[in-house]
């Protein structure tokens, strides 16, 4: 399960509507000082073999099966600080370490 704050849910719902997209994808790449970075993007396709869909009222979030355990139980938040805003995984019970700048984590 991936939990969403109200802020994240509202932003994702608006983003999907604005872009006429079908899915939200949380993708992962090896990067940063600690190992993994994630990215929240819109997607129009699902790979029924690779993807694990997490269903919400207004949309589905897709995560590749191999990365689902990296976020299982975490909360996705949308944070606004001044003129900047971004998605952030918070309260992730699977994180073993996080780099000082918060850009990457390890599991």
**Which of the four pLDDT bands, split at 50, 70 and 90, describes residue 95?**
confident
Q: Taking the alpha carbons of 82, 88, 93, 99 in that order, is the dihedral positive or negative?
A: negative
pLDDT digits (tens, 9 = 90+) for 3-47: 999 999 999 999 998 887 789 999 887 776 667 788 999 999 999
Give the model's confidence band at 103: pLDDT under 50 very low, under 70 low, under 90 confident, else very high. Answer: low
Greatest Cα pair distance in the chain = 41
Closest CA relative to residue 62, chosen from 27, 28, 20: 27
**Which class in CATH covers the domain with range 3-106?**
mainly beta
State how far the Cα of 84 lies from the Cα of 60, in Å rounded to an integer. 25
At residue 12, the 3 state secondary structure works out as helix
Percentage of residues of the chain with pLDDT beyond 70: 86
Structural domain boundaries in the chain: 3-106
Q: Structure tokens of 22?
A: 């079908």
């Amino acid at each position: 399960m991936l939990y969403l704050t109200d802020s994240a849910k509202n932003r994702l719902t608006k983003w999907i509507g604005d872009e006429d997209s079908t899915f939200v994808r949380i993708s992962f790449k090896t990067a940063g000082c600690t190992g993994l970075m994630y990215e929240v993007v819109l997607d129009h396709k699902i790979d029924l073999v690779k993807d694990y869909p997490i269903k919400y009222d207004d949309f589905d979030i897709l995560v590749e099966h191999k990365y689902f355990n990296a976020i299982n139980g975490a909360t996705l938040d949308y944070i606004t600080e001044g003129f900047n805003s971004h998605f952030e995984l918070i309260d992730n019970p699977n994180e073993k370490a996080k780099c000082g700048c918060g850009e990457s984590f390890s599991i």
